[in-house]
């Protein structure tokens, strides 16, 4: 189970024209925004990565505008773990659970999840907040990650798992995000 005190959110490579080519992109963008807003409400650390931004462009405005208090971590490795700054910030967070969202599921999300799992982290991939250019590529990656023991979740499942009870002080505020 996800735990507010032990979890961090990692937003991966939602950039430029590539982001606009994702399968079911409107749902993808909406759910990533919900996850970011939830993390902020619950004071969950957010790590934000960008793959070769000089080539792919910056994070799309509808996501970047929610991350103005975070510095993006630029990377060239497909796995976020290939960026030393990512590893430093992850270790500084002292969190052992990683909630992953972003693109592309079969490349950067898969490789990041696999590397984090190998390093001993509990990894939750939010299936409706990740995507690839094709549904087939996304589904192959989801299946492969699940077979490795990576937790597959969805946005609402992750939110309510973090809250654990309707009596949580931020329940109403977060519930409004999904209505």
| Residues annotated as part of the active site | 13, 75, 108
Length in residues, the chain:
179
Burial class (CB in 10 A: 0-12, 13-18, 19+), 136: exposed
C-alpha span between 162 and 97 (Å, rounded): 11
Close Cβ partners of 47 (under 8 Å, ≥ 6 residues apart): 8, 9, 10, 11, 70, 73, 80, 86, 89, 90, 93
Token output for 32: 């990533």
């Amino acid at each position: 189970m996800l735990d507010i005190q032990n979890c961090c959110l990692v937003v991966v490579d939602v950039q430029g024209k590539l982001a606009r080519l994702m399968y079911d992109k409107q749902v993808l963008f909406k759910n990533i925004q919900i996850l970011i807003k939830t993390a902020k409400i619950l004071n969950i650390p957010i790590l934000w990565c960008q793959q070769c931004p000089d080539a792919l462009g910056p994070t799309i405005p509808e996501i970047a505008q929610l991350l103005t208090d975070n510095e993006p971590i630029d990377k060239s490795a497909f796995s976020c773990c290939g960026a030393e700054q990512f590893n430093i910030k992850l270790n500084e967070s002292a969190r052992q659970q990683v909630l992953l969202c972003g693109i592309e599921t079969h490349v950067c999300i898969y490789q990041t999840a696999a590397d984090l799992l190998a390093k001993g982290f509990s990894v939750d991939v939010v299936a409706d907040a990740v995507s690839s250019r094709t549904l087939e590529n996304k589904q192959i990656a989801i299946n492969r990650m699940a077979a490795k023991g990576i937790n597959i979740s969805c946005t609402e499942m992750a939110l309510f798992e973090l809250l654990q009870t309707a009596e949580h002080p931020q329940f109403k505020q977060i519930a409004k995000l999904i209505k």
